[in-house]
């Protein structure tokens, strides 16, 4: 789930990538979602990066649900593995309950505005789908998302993704950048043991049980 630890972990990864002069930073994502405010912080962290951030829904069977949808759309490059899904981004309460009509409408309009901002460069079909993912909890498979322009690639693994991205032009902080990833060396940045423990206990479900 999207937790405060995810934010600090991605920030640490971006700092390492910038320090090492990395070509890209790939965030492998598999999430049921999380709080809207935490999602917003992850999105801002990605958009403020000085290195291209690729959000890759992985491994097969993973999903970028709810808040994960907008995090994926925030990537300078968005990709999914076969057998993954994205969407179902309608807002609900902290325990999965329905919201009051007024609050739900406000949240939906705010989320749809964010979705339009993130998908505008991807075309009208992608924008329409992103809004439907929030309004109607619509979801899509990897192939469906690719056909709609919601993502850039369907890749079986990181090596396949690097090969497909090679030569792709993206916009990074207002400048055009061409990715050179064909011969890129892969360096993993795993969560530390402390981050793993914090990530578990800040999972809303686990935190509720502990309380």
C-alpha triplet 47, 50, 56: angle, nearest 5°: 60
CA 42 to chain centre: 8
Catalytic site positions: 66, 106
d(C-alpha 39, C-alpha 25), whole Å: 18
Tokens of 33: 């979602």
d(C-alpha 99, C-alpha 28), whole Å: 30
Rg of the Cα trace of the chain?
17
C-beta separation of 129 from 150 below 8 A:
yes
C-alpha triplet 62, 151, 117: angle, nearest 5°: 115
């Amino acid at each position: 789930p999207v937790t405060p630890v995810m934010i600090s972990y991605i920030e640490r990864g971006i700092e390492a990538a910038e320090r090492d002069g990395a070509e890209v930073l790939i965030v492998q994502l598999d999430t049921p979602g999380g709080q809207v405010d935490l999602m917003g912080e992850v999105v801002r962290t990605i958009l403020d990066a000085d290195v291209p951030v690729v959000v890759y829904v992985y491994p097969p069977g993973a999903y970028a649900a709810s808040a994960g949808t907008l995090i994926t759309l925030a990537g300078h490059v968005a990709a999914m593995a076969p057998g993954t899904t994205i969407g179902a981004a309608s807002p609900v309460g902290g325990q999965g309950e329905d919201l009051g009509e007024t609050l739900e409408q406000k949240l939906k309009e705010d989320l749809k505005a964010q979705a339009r901002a993130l998908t505008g460069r991807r075309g009208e079909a992608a924008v329409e789908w992103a809004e439907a993912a929030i309004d109607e909890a619509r979801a899509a498979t990897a192939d469906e998302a690719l056909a709609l322009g919601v993502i850039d690639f369907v890749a079986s693994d990181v090596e396949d993704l690097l090969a497909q991205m090679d030569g792709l032009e993206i916009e990074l902080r207002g400048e055009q950048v061409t990715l050179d990833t064909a011969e890129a060396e892969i360096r993993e940045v795993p969560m530390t043991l402390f981050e793993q423990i914090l990530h578990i206990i800040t999972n809303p479900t686990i935190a509720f049980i502990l309380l």
